[in-house]
Chains A and B, each alone.
Chain A
Amino acid sequence: MGAPLIEMEHVSFRYEQTKALEDITLTVRKGDFLAILGPNGSGKSTLLKILLGLIKPTTGTVRLFGKDIRHFRERERIGYVSQKANSFNSGFPATVEEVVKGGLAKKTGLFRRFPESAEEDVTRALKAVGMETSRKRLVGELSGGQQQRVFIARALVSRPEVLILDEPTVGVDKQNVQSFYDMLDRLNKEQEITLILVTHDAEMVSDRISHVACLNRTMHFHGFKNEMERMSAEQLEAWYGHSVRKVHHAGAVR
């Protein structure tokens, strides 16, 4: 088992009077490929915002790389690909290269120019997502799936150890979703990047992920995915709130 990179203990979050998350305990270890599943409004985005330090939990503790999140300063170790990346201003006059380089802004630091190594970092990140030939193209000219790959490259360019993706396949056409997940799979296995994926495509990802977390304000299940397969359809329905199709696959747990 890898070292724990993310540990949440009894985390709750309230927006004024509304409870968005309640008593969430979750551990993500190095090398995990975790899918967070849950219906709309289940608190998935809130959970990610807490992990990214954008909001503070009402109660509970969060540790990143063994350090309390309140004292965690090495943001570049966690890459983030937002859902909103799908609806960015597509007329923005920037090249793929410029966008990806932007991912190095924090690491480079205020008042500094990008170092010379930035060019190589961009090349490496673009290769990892299979977009190196589009380097000089405008992002607005790319397809939704290609744009999403560019945003992943932007997150990868600072060499994060964990990559958090919020419903990355929204706006990606069906044929390309499969190859998109193939690419994530390679990042996880070959580059040993820990992945946390919030998604609706439970079926598409089921044979690639190692862990599942089922969220609906509280954590209904968290563990190896084959444990979840043993859960009955009734149990799943109970927390999801409506009927779900169980996902079967042959792959063994890594």
Chain B
Amino acid sequence: MIEAILTYDFLQNAFAAGLIIGVIAPLLGVFIVVRRLSLIADALSHVTLAGIAGSLFLSQSVAALAALNPLYLGIAASVAGSVMIERLRRLYKHYEELAIPIILSAGIGFGAIFISLAQGFQTDLFGYLFGSVSAVSRQDLWIVTAIAGVVVLFILLFYKELFVLSFDEEFAKASGLPSRWIHFLFMIVTALVIAGSMRIVGILLVSSLMTLPVAAAMRISGSFKGTILWSVLFGEFSVLAGLVMAFYFNLAPGGTIVVTSIVVLLLVIAFSKSVRTKTNEVVT
């Protein structure tokens, strides 16, 4: 395996991008899960699809854009989607969750139109939907690295505000924290992570890399920082194990990564249950 990675450029790109995504997706995912925003990640990934399909259509029909990396329009669509979700959530104050199906269906709708317009996209489509080991270019890797820089900087700079905002929004506002701004930045960073992770895990499975490792971490962690640490560990393990399997058995990495995360989650649930029964026995 190591030899193969050293030999093939495309494998280097895929593994380096995977390593980065394995950290940033669960890192941001912790905040998404505790703020009960998991479905927003799903909606944004579908909007990313529309951006990518639109970009591929444009590069076929406009000669000047032929070499455009579809990731750029994917990122733009995802960020625009996050801003629109916020607008809609404020418009439908009492039905905030309504924003999610609206944006999600808009994403799929536009995506489907562009996919049918862009001929020959069907072959790439599978890779975009479920991830690909071979399709990650050097440029993609640089984009993912830049996104990771933004995410890590954002979390480092706003960690305490994000924590307070996630735990108790009303308290955050009452104590005078700029909660609206921080939330807005949070949504944009989320959009970036989704667009960046899409190359490896695929659009349909991006949100699972942000939620499954967190779901497992929450079962065993004794603190918030611990939850972050375990989430990143589980996420990283799933991405690496998933990529290795995808390479050897020629499978879509999105599938192998997500199935690994589910196995990790089930093992953790079983483990935490047995530990809890044991402690209960000791107590009684």
Contacts and interface: CB of A to CB of B under 8 A. Distances in A.
B160 A93 contact: no
B168 interface: yes
Given A92-B34, A93-B221, A93-B227, A105 B161 contact: yes
B109 to A, nearest CB: 33
Contacts of A93: 34, 217-218, 221, 223-224, 226-227
Interface size class of A (residues with CB under 8 A): 20 to 34
Q: Name the residue in B34, B164, B225 with the highest tally of chain A Cβ atoms < 10 Å from its Cβ.
A: B164
Interface residues of B, number: 29
Contact of A102 (B157, B163, B174, B223): B163
A95 B168 contact: no
Contacts, number: 81
Contact of A89 (B34, B158, B177): B34
Interface stretch (A26-34, A106-114, A195-203, A206-214): A106-114
A88 B158 CA distance: 22
B167 A138 contact: no
A222 B216 CA distance: 53
Nearest to A102: B164
Interface in B151-174: 157-158, 160-161, 163-164, 166-168, 170-174
A138 B222 contact: yes
Contacts of B158: 110
Given A93-B221, A94-B224, A98-B223, A52 B34 contact: no
B163 A80 contact: no
Contacts of A138: 222-223
A99 interface: yes
Interface in B117-171: 157-158, 160-161, 163-164, 166-168, 170-171
Nearest 8 CB-CB pairs, A to B?
A: A75-B176, A94-B224, A102-B164, A105-B160, A93-B227, A80-B174, A95-B223, A106-B175
